[in-house]
Each structure stands twice: as structure tokens, then as C-alpha cells.
Amino acid sequence: MKAAALTLLCLAALANQAHASNPDAWAAYDKTVLASCTKASGLKDSKPLGNAAQFDDRVGYTAVLLQGQYPQKHMKGAQGIELCLYNKQQKAAYVTEWDTIKPAIKGK
């Protein structure tokens, strides 16, 4: 009986490892998210502020803060910040302005 339990435990461990993503898969996913968010953003020359926030699969989203320049003439090249939510299941990015957030000042 103990051997059967040990076998099941080992199989469960192997099954979990089979579903785990490797670093290359995460890098490809991050690249996809950033490309999708950048495309959905209205900002020129947008760049991510920090790393993406990976939400639990039950939530189904990855969040990215982007910073860039507003393209409208009347904005005169003003800097802007947008929050991008990437829907993992739909593989779609949704953005909204979030200029009220201020990046943390280092050292404080």
C-alpha cells in the first residue's frame, strides 16, 4: 500500500512539472503581452514602467503600466501613463489612461 501511495505522489509531482512553464515560454508570453499592450495604447514611444503584474489564472489578466507621449497636437508631447490589462484567454489588450498614478521615487 505504501508503494502505491508513493507512486501516486511521484506521478502527481511529475504532472505538475509537465504543466509548469519554462523561462523561454514566460519570455515569449511577456513579449506578446507587451506587443499587444503597446499596439492598444494610444501613446507614442510607449515603454513599460517596471515588470508586468501576473494575476492568478482565476482572474485571467496580466497588468502592465506604460509610459509615453500623447500623440495629439494639443497635448504638445506631454508624457502620459496608461494601464493595460491583457486578457489571457481572449489574448486581447485593454488600456485606460492612468496619469494620476505617480511612479515611486527611489530611496523613499
Q: What local confidence, expressed as pLDDT, does residue 28 receive?
A: 94
Do residues 63 and 69 lie in contact, with contact meaning Cβ atoms separated by under 8 Å?
no
Query: What is the torsion angle, in degrees rounded to the nearest 10, for the CA atoms of residue 26, residue 103, residue 87 and residue 91?
Result: -60
Global pTM reads 0.73
Over residues 65-80, the mean pLDDT reads 92
Which three cell numbers, joined as nine digits, stand for 87?
A: 486578457
Cell 514602467, residue? 49
Contacts of 22 (CB under 8 A, 6+ apart): none
DSSP assignments along 11-30, one per residue: HHHHHHHHHSPPHHHHHHHH
CA 26 to chain centre: 10
Q: What local confidence, expressed as pLDDT, does residue 70 receive?
A: 92
Specify the amino acid at residue 69.
Q
